[in-house]
């Protein structure tokens, strides 16, 4: 089973949407037959606004197609981002049935851009259909040319070290990519199954009878299976020992990486498999499927820790929308995997080798192999199974044996990584991940790492459970409780205040009036901790964190001169113009960056020595 993690957009901040209520002003006109047509003025204006937004989005999208046609992929990425941003920044409520056309256009736009960025032969980007849905004038010839380019572009692999212990656990680590997949960068990793399908065991690795150590280990495997110490039974076969030989030799680094990474997820997997009535050791299947990488992707469009293809994921309850792909989730995908494996084991009368084989290649292939073999036995059906599946089953059984007795096989020095821990909080619909990151003192990238099922930088248009760093859950909940309604949540940022700071300081650096700041922070007489910054037309600096571990360094000697900024000014420019230190100017005016833009006419304090 195999994958694509969706990470299409990398906006520095995503503004979400609330449609203003229509007012009751009316325009009355008379038709030629004497009837009056009455239509709200605001309704007409809203319709015109929607048409304009949709048109602007189409203009950027078409420009992206042209750039993609000319192999200017970074420029195409920017154009596609802008095509989506037009909707997000429009103020249109894309969840309302009153805006069905714009909603459908937006949802199909996200899906189409995703299909262009992460193409598969099975799911071709429907550019013509998108154009028709949105009412755009994109020539069929251009749409067909781009679709052909996407699906036929040659793949060029870049070097990577898939066995790096450090890189494998860092959310921002460099990853192997295809030169023609993605517009600028990808946030998924190759599935180990792709390499497994090509693996050829050497003559030395296949040697069992004439290898004393292998023969001794093989006998111990027979004893372990006979004693049922692994929680389930399987037929012992020399090929299992051959994979044990492989992992003790040239496959050592792969096994070490898997055993290390298993610490992050195996406790959760064991619990869920136990709850679903599945032998806990079968959960080691996840190591072969994905190397415990939630962002693992295979050539066949399978996804996540358990490498579900879209159809099988849907069969076992995994949602896949424009906003989420639960194949990449932690808990939901793990539970779906356990249920699928239970279904397969029951289908084959409790034969786990056949059940595991079907997990890899599907029930149809296993059923046909059994029919040709004349008996429901994996090793007798072995010649009739796909090559990848023939490698897959003994590989998993060898992994289970090593994981249960690492010392015996020379892996006793490997210490599993700490369990991945997090708090889970329920947030309002369409919550910006930037706001969540600010509320939990982390980055958008790490929020995405904890929530790999999210396909954009916002939560779905419904209340949603989101994972945040451990120990931050109560703090995030408290911040959201201070926001009176969804509109405030979807139009706010956060700033961390410093002891002694006033509302005027924060107003100076954000461009938001003191009255609006106090209204957004009811009951807070003076800034304390994290404060809510409502978005407005004059916001200049909202996406930041004020340092709290260092004292503010404002000059205490001399006086202060107040000047006014002009269009295009930054803190650095003003400081240079008046011969002042730009860091001192920034600190004196409550700014966090010397490159921060200043609104024309804004008063700026300049320290005078």
- For residue range 138-160, list pLDDT tens digits in order: 999 999 888 888 776 543 333 33
Cβ within 8 Å of residue 406, ≥6 positions away: 259, 412, 414
Q: What's the whole-number mean pLDDT along residues 485-495?
A: 65
Lowest mean pLDDT, pick from 181-195, 347-361, 426-440, 531-545? 531-545
**What pLDDT, on a 0 to 100 scale, did the predictor assign at position 196?**
76
**What pLDDT, on a 0 to 100 scale, did the predictor assign at position 164?**
28
Burial call 75-100: b when 16+ CB within 10 Å, e when fewer:
bbbbbbbbbbbbbbebbbbbeeeebe
Of the chain, the end-to-end C-alpha distance in Å amounts to: 69
Q: What's the whole-number mean pLDDT along residues 241-254?
A: 92
**What pLDDT, on a 0 to 100 scale, did the predictor assign at position 338?**
97
**What pLDDT, on a 0 to 100 scale, did the predictor assign at position 465?**
95
Checking if the pLDDT of 603 tops 70, the result is yes
- Comparing 26 with 134, the larger pLDDT belongs to 134
Sign of CA dihedral 508, 512, 513, 519: negative
**What pLDDT, on a 0 to 100 scale, did the predictor assign at position 35?**
45
Q: Quickly state the pLDDT bin for 76 (edges 50, 70, 90).
A: confident
**What pLDDT, on a 0 to 100 scale, did the predictor assign at position 94?**
63
Lowest mean pLDDT, pick from 329-333, 360-364, 412-416, 519-523? 519-523
Q: Quickly state the pLDDT bin for 559 (edges 50, 70, 90).
A: low
Q: What pLDDT digit, counting tens, does each position of 504-513 carry? A: 888 887 778 8
CATH of domain 559-608: 3.10.350.10
Query: Would you state the structure tokens that stand for residue 408, as one six-digit string?
Result: 């015996």
**What pLDDT, on a 0 to 100 scale, did the predictor assign at position 454?**
92
* DSSP letters spanning 481-544: HHS-SHHHHTTEEEEE--TT--HHHHHHHH---HHHHHHHSTT-SS--SEEEEE--TT----S-
**What pLDDT, on a 0 to 100 scale, did the predictor assign at position 96?**
64
**What pLDDT, on a 0 to 100 scale, did the predictor assign at position 163?**
32
**What pLDDT, on a 0 to 100 scale, did the predictor assign at position 596?**
67
Q: What pLDDT digit, counting tens, does each position of 536-552 carry? A: 433 333 333 333 333 33
Residue corresponding to tokens 């600190």: 587
Q: What's the whole-number mean pLDDT along residues 190-207?
A: 83
- Comparing 476 with 543, the larger pLDDT belongs to 476
**What pLDDT, on a 0 to 100 scale, did the predictor assign at position 533?**
84
Q: Quickly state the pLDDT bin for 528 (edges 50, 70, 90).
A: confident
Checking if the pLDDT of 12 tops 60, the result is no
Q: What's the whole-number mean pLDDT along residues 234-241?
A: 91
Residue corresponding to tokens 């709200």: 40
Lowest mean pLDDT, pick from 24-33, 116-125, 600-609? 24-33
Query: In the chain, what percentage of residues exceed pLDDT 90?
Result: 35
Checking if the pLDDT of 248 tops 90, the result is yes
* Phi, psi dihedrals of residue 569, rounded to the nearest 5°: -70, 150
β-partners of residue 26 are 40
Lowest mean pLDDT, pick from 63-72, 284-293, 309-318, 327-336? 63-72
- Comparing 4 with 79, the larger pLDDT belongs to 79
CB 221, CB 236: distance < 8 Å: yes
Q: What's the whole-number mean pLDDT along residues 192-219?
A: 84
Checking if the pLDDT of 2 tops 50, the result is no
Q: Could you tell me the fold of the domain covering 205-404?
A: Lysozyme (1.10.530)
- Comparing 571 with 263, the larger pLDDT belongs to 263
CB 539, CB 508: distance < 8 Å: no
**Domain regions of the chain by residue span:** 26-152, 205-404, 423-534, 559-608
- Comparing 13 with 202, the larger pLDDT belongs to 202
**What pLDDT, on a 0 to 100 scale, did the predictor assign at position 518?**
87
**What pLDDT, on a 0 to 100 scale, did the predictor assign at position 155?**
39
Q: What's the whole-number mean pLDDT along residues 451-475?
A: 92
Q: How far apart are CA 52 and CA 246, in angstroms?
A: 62
Cβ within 8 Å of residue 271, ≥6 positions away: none
**What pLDDT, on a 0 to 100 scale, did the predictor assign at position 351?**
95
Checking if the pLDDT of 175 tops 50, the result is no
Residue 606 burial (CB count, 10 A): 20
**What pLDDT, on a 0 to 100 scale, did the predictor assign at position 347?**
95
**What pLDDT, on a 0 to 100 scale, did the predictor assign at position 484?**
62
Q: How far apart are CA 148 and CA 135, in angstroms?
A: 22
Q: What's the whole-number mean pLDDT along residues 548-574?
A: 63
Residue 423 burial (CB count, 10 A): 18
Q: What's the whole-number mean pLDDT along residues 310-323?
A: 90
Lowest mean pLDDT, pick from 82-86, 227-231, 302-306, 312-316? 82-86
Sign of CA dihedral 39, 44, 47, 51: positive
Q: Which of 468, 454, 425 is nearest to 329 (CA)?
A: 454
CA distances to 355, 385, 518 from 364, rounded to whole Å, are: 12, 11, 64
Q: What's the whole-number mean pLDDT along residues 519-541?
A: 72
Q: What's the whole-number mean pLDDT along residues 466-471?
A: 95
Q: What pLDDT digit, counting tens, does each position of 257-293 carry? A: 999 999 999 999 999 999 999 999 999 999 999 999 9
Checking if the pLDDT of 328 tops 60, the result is yes
**What pLDDT, on a 0 to 100 scale, did the predictor assign at position 165?**
28
Query: Would you state the structure tokens that stand for residue 494, as one six-digit string?
Result: 């956060």
Question: Average pLDDT, whole number, for the chain?
Answer: 78
Q: Which of 45, 56, 39, 57 is nearest to 19 (CA)?
A: 45
Residue corresponding to tokens 């496959």: 251
Residue corresponding to tokens 């609104």: 599
Query: Would you state the structure tokens that stand for residue 196, as one six-digit string?
Result: 């497994």
Query: Would you state the structure tokens that stand for residue 78, as one six-digit string?
Result: 């920017």
């Amino acid at each position: 089973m195999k994958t694509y993690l969706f990470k299409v957009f990398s906006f520095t901040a995503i503004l979400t949407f609330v449609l203003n209520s229509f007012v009751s002003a009316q325009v009355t006109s008379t038709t030629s037959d004497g009837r009056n047509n009455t239509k709200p003025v605001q309704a007409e204006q809203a319709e015109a606004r929607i048409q304009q937004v949709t048109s602007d989005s189409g203009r950027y999208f078409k420009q992206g197609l042209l750039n993609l046609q000319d192999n200017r992929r970074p420029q195409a990425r920017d154009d596609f981002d802008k095509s989506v941003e037009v909707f997000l920044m429009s103020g249109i409520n894309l969840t309302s049935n009153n805006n069905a056309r714009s909603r459908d256009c937006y949802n199909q736009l996200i899906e189409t851009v995703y299909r262009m960025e992460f193409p598969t032969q099975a799911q071709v980007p429907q550019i013509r259909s998108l154009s028709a849905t949105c009412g755009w004038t994109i020539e069929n010839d251009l749409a067909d040319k781009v679709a052909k380019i996407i699906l036929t572009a040659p793949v060029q692999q870049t070097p990577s070290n898939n066995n790096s212990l450090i890189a494998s656990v860092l959310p921002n680590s460099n990853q192997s990519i295809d030169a023609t997949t993605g517009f600028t960068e990808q946030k998924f990793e190759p599935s180990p199954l792709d390499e497994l399908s090509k693996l050829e065991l050497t003559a030395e690795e296949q040697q069992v009878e004439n290898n004393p150590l292998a023969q001794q280990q093989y006998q111990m495997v027979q004893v372990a299976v006979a004693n049922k110490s692994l929680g389930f039974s399987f037929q012992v076969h020399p090929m299992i020992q051959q994979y044990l030989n492989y992992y003790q030799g040239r496959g050592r680094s792969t096994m070490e990486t898997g055993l290390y990474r298993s610490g992050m997820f195996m406790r959760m997997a064991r619990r869920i498999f136990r709850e679903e009535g599945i032998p806990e050791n079968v959960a080691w299947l996840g190591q072969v499927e994905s190397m415990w990488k939630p962002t693992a992707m295979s050539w066949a469009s399978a996804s996540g820790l358990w490498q579900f293809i879209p159809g099988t994921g849907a069969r076992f309850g995994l949602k896949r929308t424009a906003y989420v792909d639960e194949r990449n989730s932690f808990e939901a995908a793990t539970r779906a995997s356990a249920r699928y494996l239970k279904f397969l084991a029951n289908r084959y009368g409790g034969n786990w080798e056949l059940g595991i084989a079907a997990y890899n290649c599907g029930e149809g292939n296993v059923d046909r192999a059994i029919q040709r073999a004349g008996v429901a036995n994996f090793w007798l059906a072995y010649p009739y199974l796909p090559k990848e599946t023939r490698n897959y089953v003994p590989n998993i059984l060898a992994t289970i044996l090593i994981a249960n007795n690492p010392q015996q096989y020379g892996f006793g020095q490997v210490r599993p990584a700490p369990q991945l821990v997090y708090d889970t909080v329920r947030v309002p619909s369409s919550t910006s991940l930037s706001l969540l990151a600010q509320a939990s003192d982390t980055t958008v990238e790490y929020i995405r790492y904890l929530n790999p099922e999210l396909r954009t930088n916002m939560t779905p248009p419904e209340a949603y459970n989101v994972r945040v760093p451990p120990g931050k859950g109560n703090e995030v909940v408290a911040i959201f409780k201070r926001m009176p309604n969804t509109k405030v949540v979807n139009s706010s940022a956060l700033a961390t205040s410093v002891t002694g700071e006033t509302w005027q300081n924060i107003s100076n650096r954000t461009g938001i009036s003191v009255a609006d700041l106090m209204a957004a922070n009811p009951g807070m007489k003076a800034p304390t901790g994290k404060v809510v910054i409502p978005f407005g037309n004059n916001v200049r600096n909202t996406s930041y964190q004020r340092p709290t571990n260092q004292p503010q360094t404002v000059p205490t000697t001399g006086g202060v001169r107040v000047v006014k900024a002009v269009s295009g000014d930054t803190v650095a420019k003003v400081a240079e113009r008046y011969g002042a230190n730009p860091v001192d100017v920034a600190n004196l005016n409550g700014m966090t960056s010397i490159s921060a833009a200043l609104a024309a006419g804004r008063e700026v304090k300049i320290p005078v020595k």
